[in-house]
Amino acid sequence: MKAAYDAFGHGGFAALADHLAALQRVLDHAPKGFQVVQEGPTEVVYGGREMGRFLALSAEIQAQAKAAGQSPKAVTWRQSPYPEASLLIGSYYNEQRQWDRALPILQRGLKLSPADPKLVTETGSTLCQSRRCDQALPLYAQILATDPVLSAQDRARILRAQGYALTELNRLDAAEQAYNDSLKFEPDHQGARHELAYIAHLRAGAAPAAGVLSTADKARKGEY
C-alpha cells in the first residue's frame, strides 16, 4: 500500500498502473465477514479511513460505559488496507474511463466500508458515467440521512454529486436544491455555482451538455 501511495503522490493516477496487481492482491485478502468496527472483550478496533468517525465511535463507547457504570473498552484505530485498495483501484479505472472495471471493485469496497464518503461518491460517479444515475441517488440519500459525523467538506461533496445525478435525470428543482444545500457547507465552491448556472440555462431551453469529469481542485475553482 505504501508503495502505491508513494507512486500516486509523485505521479498521479498514471503511476498507479504498475501497482494495480499488488492492490488487487490486498483486496483479495479481505477476510470474509470483515467489519470496519470489530468489538472484542476489552477493545474495539476501527479499521476505516475517517478520523471523524473514529472520534465519534470513541465518544459513543465512552458515553455508553459511563451510563452503565462500567469501565470503557479501549478504542484503537488500525486502518484497514482493504477499503483503501478498493478506492485506489476503482479511482484509477474511473480516471481511465473504464467504468465496467471500476464498478465491481468500488462496490466491493462499499460492502467492506459502507459509510465511507469517498467510496460512496466514487461509486456514484461510476454509475452516473455508466448512465445509471438513478442507481447512484440511493447511495447519496442514505449516507446523507444516516451519517451524523460527515465533515462539512464530505457533506458538500456528496450533495454536489447528488445534484449532478439529479441534473442528468432532468430533475432540475431537486438538483438546484442539492447544489444550494452544498453551498451551505462550502460557500466558495465555484463548481457548484457553475452547475447552478447550467441548470438555469437548461430551464431557459439550452440543450444539455455532455457530462464532464473534473478533478476536485478544478471543480472547486469552477475550471472545466
d(CA 30, CA 190): 39
Query: 210: pLDDT confidence band, cut at 50, 70 and 90?
Result: low
| Domains in the chain: boundaries | 37-77, 120-224
Mean pLDDT of 170-175: 97
Extract the runs of DSSP E, i.e. beta strands, from 2-95.
37-39, 43-46, 74-77
Distance CA 1, CA 81 (A): 7
**What is the reported pLDDT for 13?**
83
Nearest-angstrom CA–CA distance, 12 and 111: 26
pLDDT at 30: 92
The pLDDT tens digits of the residues spanning 7-42 come to 778 888 888 888 899 999 999 999 988 888 888 989
**DSSP tag of 19:** G
| pLDDT for position 208 | 83
120-224 to CATH, choices 1.10.760, 1.25.40, 3.30.70, 1.10.1420: 1.25.40
Question: How big is the chain by its Cα radius of gyration, in Å?
Answer: 19
Chain mean pLDDT for the chain: 89
% pLDDT > 90, the chain = 62
State how far the Cα of 217 lies from the Cα of 224, in Å rounded to an integer.
11
DSSP count for the chain of H helices, then E strands: 11, 3
- pLDDT cut 70: percent of the chain above it: 93
Cell numbers that stand for 84 in this block = 483503501
Query: Model confidence over 92-138: pLDDT tens digits?
Result: 999 999 999 999 999 999 999 998 999 999 999 999 999 999 999 99
Q: How confident is the model at residue 216 (pLDDT cuts 50, 70, 90)?
A: very low
pTM of structure: 0.84
Average pLDDT (42-52) is 87
Total Cβ atoms within 10 A of residue 24: 14
pLDDT at 211: 55
